Structure 1
Amino acid sequence: MASEGTGVSELAARYSTALFDLADENKALDQVASDLTTLKQLLAESADLRRLVRSPVISRADQGRAMAALLDEVAASDLTKRFVGLVAANRRLFVLSGMIDGFLAELARRRGEATAQVTAARPLTDAQIEAVTEALRSVVGNKVAVNVTVDPELIGGMIVRYGSRMIDASVRTKLNKLQLAMKASGGQV
């Protein structure tokens, strides 16, 4: 089982490195990063899209057409469309998330940025993202790229992951802690 995980991450790394090199050659790093960030957000928000990219039952042609339509809808660059089309044709959409993460991590590394993962209960406004970025920048001391995903199951608040650190200020976690405390004291939940 562990070798499967390693194989998947190696596969994602190879594809993300190839895309990064192509985007760098074509001077399209920012555009591709923007496209991939949008695609990552769409994957996080849509269970149907996640099923599409993970399903071995859906043909590669159908997956390719669906992804092409989605990328047209969000006005993705030609390079991003061709890359995702190739990934679909090669039946590798199941590691698309890893490819996106690898690309964004390499871009951040090359720019001297640290990357923080922020999971919020609802989409954050630009002002909220800027406030989180500034707070992290003051703690970290250098540039910070913030990747935001939405998980409505958090109920409220957010979880921030930076390197090996994690700050969980979600309502879900607070409720779980309260429930455990009540159980430990013999109270009914």
Structure 2
Amino acid sequence: MVEITGTGGTGLTARYAAALYAAAFERGTLDEVVAQMAELGRLIHDQADLRALLANPLLDSHKVAPVLAQALESQGFSPLIRNFVQVAAGNRRLRDLPRLVDGFTAYVAAKRGEIVAEVTTAHGLSDLQRSQLHARLTESGHRNAKLIERQDPSLLGGMVVKIGSKLYDTSLKSRLQRLNYSLKGAA
């Protein structure tokens, strides 16, 4: 869950997001950093080995950080992004890196007057589903919606969309739970 609901968000993700935003803005590289953070998010999302590495509490983040920085450099990430990851590692926050990336996306969206829609599905969204979701969000008045995609296999199917404090749950898991509750109530 992303902790930022506006530019005045609090908590871990807001502190990291605000610091990276300020550094990128001062250097005049905000658009580049936004694009690279989106790419970092896709990289984390697509690479199961990387997610496992980041989440492993047994690994010393001070030893993992240089290897990760070198890998990011070889992928063409800017020194600012590499430094951001190094700071997260130095503070033992590598396991939080996916949340930090999402938090930065939400922070930038709030600064730009966009809304953030957190979309959780059992399996990744296809391009068609993504465009249909954007169309539905536009129809409902959310023209500048930024999607943050997550996967949760326990949903079984459907999706959960969170926009601000509103939650739209069309997952198969919640439908089965509601059916279970109604059957228990009828018994």
Cα distance change on mapping 1:68 and 1:168 into 2, 3 Å: same
Cα distance change on mapping 1:12 and 1:114 into 2, 3 Å: closer
Cα deviation for residue 141 of structure 1 reads: 4.5
Cα distance change on mapping 1:99 and 1:137 into 2, 3 Å: same
Aligned residues: 177
Rounded Cα–Cα distance in structure 2 between residues aligned with 1:118 and 1:29: 25
Q: Cα deviation per residue 1:74-125 (whole Å; 9 max; x = unaligned)?
A: 6533321221022212323244344323321221122211111111121112
1:1-189 counterparts in 2 under 5 A?
A: 10-40=11-41, 42=44, 46=48, 49=51, 52-53=54-55, 55=57, 57-68=58-69, 71=72, 75-186=76-187
In the superposition, the TM-score normalised over structure 2's length comes to: 0.77
Alignment-mate amino acid for residue 85 of structure 1: Q
Cα deviation for residue 43 of structure 1 reads: 5.5
Identity %: 31
Cα deviation for residue 50 of structure 1 reads: 5.4
Rounded Cα–Cα distance in structure 1 between residues aligned with 2:66 and 2:45: 16
Give the unaligned 5+ runs of structure 2: 1-9
- Check the 8 A contact 1:156/1:172 in 2, yes or no: yes
What is the match of residue 5 of structure 1? none
Rounded Cα–Cα distance in structure 1 between residues aligned with 2:169 and 2:175: 9
Cα distance change on mapping 1:52 and 1:142 into 2, 3 Å: closer
Cα distance change on mapping 1:147 and 1:79 into 2, 3 Å: same
Q: Answer with 128-137 or 34-43: which moved more.
A: 34-43
Give the unaligned 5+ runs of structure 1: 1-8
Cα deviation for residue 158 of structure 1 reads: 0.6
Q: Answer with 37-46 or 21-30: which moved more.
A: 37-46
Aligned residues: CA RMSD: 2.8
- Check the 8 A contact 1:13/1:98 in 2, yes or no: no
